[in-house]
Chain A
């Protein structure tokens, strides 16, 4: 499965890549903000996206809104420190399929990925 990690923190991308690797997901592309991600999704065609919220240039919410104009089905999980209910609702309305609040455990990320893929009718690895 092709997964795109979108986070301005290289440390966080490395942590997520490591967790995903332990879960068997190794086909991973990275982007450092929403603009970078928009420039890569066309060629990479991710099957799952993990998106941070607070990023320079283009934040995660703006990215999801822009991405959903051309792709309404590929699952998107927001992985963010934004923990308020109002933020979660805002993200869901923008087209996010699931939500992980940082800090997270590997088990929680695994659970959210499986939930999301199941809801979208996709099989986990």
Chain B
């Protein structure tokens, strides 16, 4: 995958987390995801369509997600509540929306977010779409950005298996 489609997500998560959560994000080494195994317990998912199509996933361990949501919403929430999912959805929306503005290809739209909560879930991506994982670490714990994008291809719609 063209690094020009990865760097915007790194810039964006650092911007969103520092502005909305006052939470610095350290970026690890991006790598292609080969095993398609579950990442963490909570996934915020957004679809992209247009000149670039695919899926963006922001994945958190449950405890990390709860800490992040507390910083974002200003109150503690259980991962089982609808408001928790709303907060995670808004975070992935902000990260994806800001990132796409930095794409070399401009005509890209994003979907409304979906959120999956549950240990061991996988978000299935079509096998012809590469997935690049960007590990991030924060004082609240680890976060993974998974970027599954293709240029000028059919949309890679996720299939969620809890």
Contact = CB atoms under 8 A, between A and B. Distances in A.
Main secondary structure of the interface of B (DSSP, over half): helix
B97 A11 contact: no
Contacts of B89: 9
A8 B93 CA distance: 11
For chain A, the bracket of interface size reads 20 to 34
Contacts, number: 59
Contacts of B93: 9, 54, 81, 102
Nearest to A11: B87
24 contacts: A9-B86, A10-B86, A11-B73, A11-B86, A11-B90, A14-B73, A15-B72, A54-B93, A54-B111, A55-B112, A56-B112, A81-B94, A81-B97, A81-B98, A81-B110, A84-B106, A102-B16, A102-B93, A102-B97, A103-B19, A103-B20, A103-B94, A104-B19, A105-B19
Interface string A68-87: 00000000000011111010
B86 A83 contact: no
Contacts of B15: 103
Interface in A8-51: 8-12, 14-15, 18
B51 interface: no
Contacts of A83: 97-98, 101
Contacts of A54: 93, 97, 110-112
Contacts of A105: 19
Contacts of A14: 73-74
B83 interface: yes
Given A84-B101, A102-B94, A103-B19, A11 B112 contact: no
Contacts of B72: 11, 15
